[in-house]
Amino acid sequence: MTVDLLVLGSGIAGLSAAVHAAQAGWSVVVLTKCELASSATQYAQGGVAAASLEAPGDDSPELHFRDTLGAGAGLCDPLAVKVLVTEGPDRVRELIAMGAVFDRTGDGEAAALALTREGGHSVARVVHAGGDATGAEIERALVAAVGATTAAVREGWLALDLLVEQGRAAGTTAISPEGAVQQIHARHTMLATGGAGQCFAVTTNPPVSTGDGIAMALRAGVAVADVEFMQFHPTALHHPAMPRPLLSEALRGEGAVLRDAAGRAFMATEHPLADLAPRDIVARAIARRIDDGPMDHLWLDATAIERFDTRFPTIWRACQAVGLDPRRDWLPVAPAAHYLCGGVCTDLDGATTLPGLWAAGEVANSGVHGANRLASNSLLDGMVFARRAIGAIASGKDAPEPSGVLELVHDSVAPARQPSSALHAGGTTRGDVQDLMTRDAGVLREAVRLERATKELATMDASDPEVHNLVTVGTALVEAATRRTESRGTHTRQDHFAAAPEFLGRFVFGGGPSPVFVPLPDRVASIGGAEHPERGGSSVPTLRAVRR
């Protein structure tokens, strides 16, 4: 049997795609290696950034656009960002129509959506649910929406490798819950497998975030780029619990302050936005102070936040579980691997360099995040580009177009190949990979550590498919980080601390064993006719030219 759409993953991107495809009458199979609701989406606390969702006020898609480009350190694709900020509000409205309940400022039908501000945002535009349980509420609503369709859900299945037949994607090989290797054939395949935070020993990601989709794409020769840009969330609760409890950026949006070992508030010396600076800047500032000693963490002072237990109930429970009271205790924090800004390269419709293969969510490199994701853009990214992919398939599209990230990348990639799905027999463990990556490829990097990581990764081999994927993704991350001899966004080289204009581009895997550097063109990005220099140069089409 060949299904119309095979979705790999059950987070916000995968389930959004499944709902829209099934509602269109397609045969859909959702493959997930755990339970349907066990994705990274459910861990998202802060919310969804969506400008002018109800009333313009002080916000606009234009301002959201500027904030996103500002965080991305020159590597955002302007057209992809335009798509995100202008189509995003409609996707949130769709979620509400599916039954997702977001927090509001009052009672009754007239109550407005409650908005908060997070790092890198110039205004409050982030909607949230359950105070700090936005991802869990979105996942609940999408699981229910999928259950109301004819989509078939297969839980406990681990995808191994892509099937490539006659130059296009044809589905996947996968291990069933009983341990049998089977082939699942599909006319179109959607990668929605999430990120790779489990490459690191300290992460906010759940155990399922092992980079499976990116590793599958790398083995098949599908274009992958920007994997050196692993975003470290600056304020994970410093505690042995894993995944690390996340102390949402919304805390700082509502008055929490970072303090150093001596109790001094320090972020005003790092950035004009102080504690609301973009995540890469905050994480770097904390990591430097930890490196200088004397402690292995700093402090987040949230004692000024009123009604902490009702505004942030999830964080409240996490703190209470380890004996902390945020109303009077400073909270110990340190950076933790959180979100991979790069991934499988896509055009503006989510198409990859392999016809019939689509990608959305954290596994994808849509171009909206650049070198550093703006807070609360991730859930929006998954919804927007999953929906665009389904619309593109419905219109008859099968192959990628030279748009978005693929505008320049496509010609640098060789034809995809059928990867070997043979299982390995090595003894490398997840902990082996995590310890190496944390030691040598964390927040602060340098040549000698990256060289050591390269040599050790080359000796690793794992019988566990997920660990094998971690080795594959970790190797690509370290190689790209070695070649990018500058600091940009989430990638910080202590031996090349400044940004270098010659590295304004992407390191792209897919054309051979090593990445190819693809420089970005000069361009001017605009929304609604207003131009804003983004790397300078000639103009690009307005958003109307790329929307269907």
Give the tens place of pLDDT for each residue, 287-332: 999 988 899 999 999 999 999 999 899 899 999 999 999 999 999 9
Is residue 10 located within the same domain as residue 93?
A: yes
Final residue before a domain boundary, out of 397, 412, 427:
412
Same domain, 298 and 204: no
Whether 533 maps to a domain, the answer reads no
> 49 and 118: one domain?
yes
Which residues are within 8 A (CB) of 479 and not within 5 positions of it... i.e. 6 or more apart?
Answer: 454, 514, 515
- Phi/psi class of residue 334: alpha, beta or left (left: φ > 0; alpha: ψ in -120 to 50)? beta
For residue 28, what is the DSSP state?
A: E
Q: What would the two tokens of residue 38 be?
A: 């066990």
User: Does a structural domain hold residue 548?
Assistant: no
Tell me the Cα Rg of the chain: 22
What residue spans of 322-446 are helical by DSSP H? 378-394, 406-409, 430-440
Question: Strand 357-359 relative to strand 181-191: parallel, antiparallel, unpaired?
Answer: parallel
The reply to whether 183 and 273 lie within a common domain is: no
Q: Is 244 a catalytic residue?
A: no
Q: Is 365 helix (H, G, I), strand (E, B) or coil?
A: strand
Residues 85 and 217 in one domain: yes
Is residue 138 a contact partner of residue 130, using CB atoms and an 8 Å limit? no
CATH number at residue 74: 3.50.50.60
The pLDDT value recorded for residue 241 is 78
Q: Are residues 13 and 129 in the same domain?
A: yes
DSSP string, 262-285: TS-B-GGGT-TTGGGS-HHHHHHH
Residue 82 lies in a domain: yes
User: Distances from the Cα of 536 to the Cαs of 61, 226, 262, 533, in angstroms?
Assistant: 21, 22, 43, 5
Domain extent, residue 33, equals 2-229+341-412
As a whole number of angstroms, the distance between CA 169 and CA 349 comes to 16
The closest of 458, 483, 453, 485 to 472, measured between CA atoms, is 458
Task: With respect to residue 296, please indicate whether it lies within any of the assigned structural domains.
Answer: yes
Question: Considering the domain boundaries, does residue 194 fall inside one?
Answer: yes
Q: Which residues of the chain, if any, have pLDDT below 50? A: 524, 529-548
> What 8-state DSSP symbol labels residue 451?
H
Distance CA 196, CA 362 (A): 9
Query: What is the CB neighbour count within 10 angstroms for residue 307?
Result: 9
Task: For residues 334 and 348, state if they share a domain.
Answer: no
Domain termination residue (choose one: 307, 338, 369): 338
Residue 317 and residue 347 share a domain: no
Query: Is the domain of 44 the same as that of 138?
Result: yes
The span from the CA of 444 to the CA of 191, in Å, is: 30
288 and 147, same structural domain?
no
529 domain residue, yes or no: no
345 and 333 share one domain: no
pLDDT digits (tens, 9 = 90+) for 534-548: 433 222 223 333 333
The CA distance from 380 to 85, in Å, is: 9
Q: Which amino acid is at 253?
A: G
Phi and psi torsions of 359, nearest 5° = -145, 140
Q: What is d(CA 348, CA 405) in angstroms, rounded to the nearest whole number?
A: 8
- Give the CATH number for residue 255: 3.90.700.10
Q: What is the DSSP string of 170-189?
A: EEEEEE-TTS-EEEEEEEEE
Q: Is residue 446 part of a domain?
A: no
Residues 296 and 379 in one domain: no
Backbone φ, ψ for residue 495 (5° rounding): -95, -5
CB 189 within 8 A of CB 172: yes
User: Of 372, 395, 412, which closes a domain?
Assistant: 412
Tokens of 150: 């004819």
Catalytic one of 66, 140, 279, 484: 279
CB contact at 8 A, 44 and 195: no
Count of the separate structural domains present in the chain: 2
Q: Is residue 164 in a domain? A: yes
